[in-house]
A and B are shown apart, each in its own frame.
Chain A
Amino acid sequence: MTNASAAGTTTLKPLRPGMFVLPDRLDAPARLLGGRCRACGEMFFPKRAYCAGCTSGDQEDVQFGDAGVIETFTVVYQQPPGSAMVPPYAIVRVKLDDGPNVQTVAANCDPAKIRIGDRVELIVHKVMDDAAGNTIVSFMAQPAKRA
């Protein structure tokens, strides 16, 4: 981690723009930028131009809250090609309290202790450093600190 990002300056760069509100420090709550279909109410992350269910193009932008529950999970032990993750790491499918299911990796916890039904919160966590010294971040799930 660079001193700049540890100090919470603007060297955080999203892995992909437009996925979440970029905070000014690492491990801050992640507010995902998704979509809601005005025609049928279905919610999506990432957002879509047309509803996957009813095909309507009438979509509105939505910010989802960071709280959810683990629907299912697995721990990956083999390095997948092209990935910055170092095994073993956990993939979790999280049902957001006010949004759809999202899939991400678990952070700040022991992957072996993850269980279906655990409460989690989404945070903006470091993925890797890029060549220019920026901290590349994305949304990840950590055990909920709030009750």
Chain B
Amino acid sequence: MREVVVLGAGLHRFGRFPDKSLQDLGREAISNALSDSGVPFKDIEVAYVGRVLAGMGAGLSVVSEMGQTGIPVINIEMACGSSTSAFREAYLQVAHGVYDTALVVGFEKMQRGMLQISEQASYQTVMGLAVMPASYALQTQRYMADYGATPEMFAQVSVKSHRNGAMNPNAQYQKEVTLEEVMAARMIADPITLLECSPTTDGASAVVICAAEKAAKYSARRSMTVAGWATGSGKHEPKGGGDGDAETNTGEVERLVKIAYERAGVGPKDVDVTQVHDAFAPGEVFTIEGLGLVGKGEGARAVWDGRTEITGDIPVNTDGGLLSRGHPIGATGAAMVTEIFRQLTGEAGPRQVKGGKAKVGLLHNAGIGGVNILVFTN
């Protein structure tokens, strides 16, 4: 397989844009990524598009805004992990020499309120069991009982994420919140309050990748290498462990990250900056454990002690994460890649970790359709 590099990335700001179409959002993200990469759209050979709620053929209707060059436009859906799935498919095509350049796009426009995650008439929906924050809350209650963690420790994830979001001009929420505000917010699923839930969001993201051996012809100022990947769909855990879905299955994260570390030739101690899927605040706690960044049962304490802050030893979700950057489900994965790119190229400004010397970035994006892990190096 050939080495593949990310040459550029771009976003349309995340937020609520009722007057903008998917095409408006996508065009801006793609245009930003292309100019960031130095690759003109006419040189893009294939586009992979992560999107969930839009109608059929939505990928082409957005990508063709940039020109009708006749390239294949592939629509990918893996719920909240859609655009990292799009990224992985694009990466594998370029790595195997099918294409030299590829565009990865994610976009979404969402309604306010809770997502309906199961079929309308399923018994889980009618009985009020198909509730995403409740899936996280069930795991959180068990975690608190097992390890003596407190609701405040989980709430601190939200405090940290909002602090980072306040430094991100592309974030949906750019305002800090206090621990007291998070704890006093409306309870959604005990102990998860409203400020520990990611919002629904409109937004778009795009990334340009290229075979490393072909990258010199573009005026790219810098790049990062796609070093490792792993994907899974929630392996069955025997003896009653099968209730958790792929998104909240920490065992699946442990299984997959081993594969990704091995492919990348790095381990958890090498990781300088991490993006995790914090659809709900406890997600950060469970996932940093699953990724091996901290030991089992140490995640809540690590957050509480500030270790996942930008200034900490394991900075996580430096752009505000899903909680604060926002979570336009199809666009989230490529936005995670975008933040890792900014961090590894030293362009993250006030959010920059490790004095611009970050070498290894780790990414975890999960949905009810599965889990994607990516490792990047520079």
> Which residues of chain A have a CB within 8 Å of any CB of chain B?
15-16, 19, 40, 42, 44, 52-53, 71-78, 80-85, 89, 91, 93, 95, 100-105, 116, 127-128, 138
Contact = CB atoms under 8 A, between A and B. Distances in A.
Contact of A105 (B129, B188, B192): B129
Contact of A81 (B116, B123, B243): B116
B139 A15 contact: no
A100 B236 contact: no
Contacts of B134: 74, 76, 91
B329 to A, nearest CB: 16
B65 interface: no
B240 A95 contact: yes
Nearest to A116: B145
B128 A76 contact: yes
Given A42-B236, A100-B242, A105-B127, 11 more contacts: A16-B123, A72-B139, A77-B190, A78-B114, A78-B133, A80-B114, A81-B113, A83-B127, A85-B128, A93-B243, A95-B240
Interface string B136-166: 0111111001000000000000000000000
Given A81-B113, A93-B243, A95-B240, A74 B126 contact: no
A38 B223 CA distance: 53
A72 B142 contact: yes
Q: 7 closest A-B pairs (Cβ-Cβ)?
A: A85-B128, A74-B137, A83-B128, A72-B142, A52-B236, A101-B240, A75-B190
Given A77-B187, A81-B116, A116-B145, A15 B138 contact: no
B191 to A, nearest CB: 8
B127 A93 contact: no
A81 to B, nearest CB: 5
Contacts of B145: 72, 116
A91 B137 CA distance: 10
B130 interface: yes
Given A74-B189, A82-B116, A127 B126 contact: yes
A82 B215 CA distance: 51
B189 A77 contact: yes
Interface of B: 113-114, 116, 120, 122-123, 125-131, 133-134, 137-142, 145, 186-190, 192, 236, 238-243
Contacts of A102: 243
B127 A138 contact: yes
Nearest to A15: B123
Contact of A83 (B113, B125, B133, B192): B125
B186 A91 contact: no
B189 A127 contact: no
B127 A127 contact: yes
| Residue among A74, A83, A102 facing the most chain B CB atoms (10 A cut-off) | A74
Contacts of A95: 240
Nearest to B116: A81
A86 to B, nearest CB: 9
A74 B127 contact: no
Contacts of B116: 80-82
Contacts of A83: 125-128, 131
A75 B70 CA distance: 52
A74 B126 CA distance: 17
A74 B114 contact: no
Contacts of B186: 77-78
Contacts of B127: 15, 83-85, 104-105, 127, 138
A77 B186 CA distance: 9
Given A52-B236, A75-B190, A138 B125 contact: no
A75 B114 contact: no
Nearest to A73: B141
Given A81-B113, A91-B129, A100-B242, A73 B189 contact: no
Contacts of A71: 142, 240
Contacts of B129: 91, 103-105
A76 B145 CA distance: 19
B130 to A, nearest CB: 7
21 contacts: A15-B126, A15-B127, A42-B236, A53-B238, A72-B139, A73-B138, A74-B137, A74-B192, A76-B128, A77-B187, A77-B189, A80-B130, A80-B131, A81-B116, A89-B128, A93-B138, A101-B240, A101-B242, A103-B138, A105-B127, A138-B126
Contacts of A116: 141-142, 145
Given A82-B116, A93-B243, A101-B243, A53 B126 contact: no
Contacts of B243: 93, 101-103
A122 to B, nearest CB: 13
A127 B239 CA distance: 29
A98 to B, nearest CB: 12
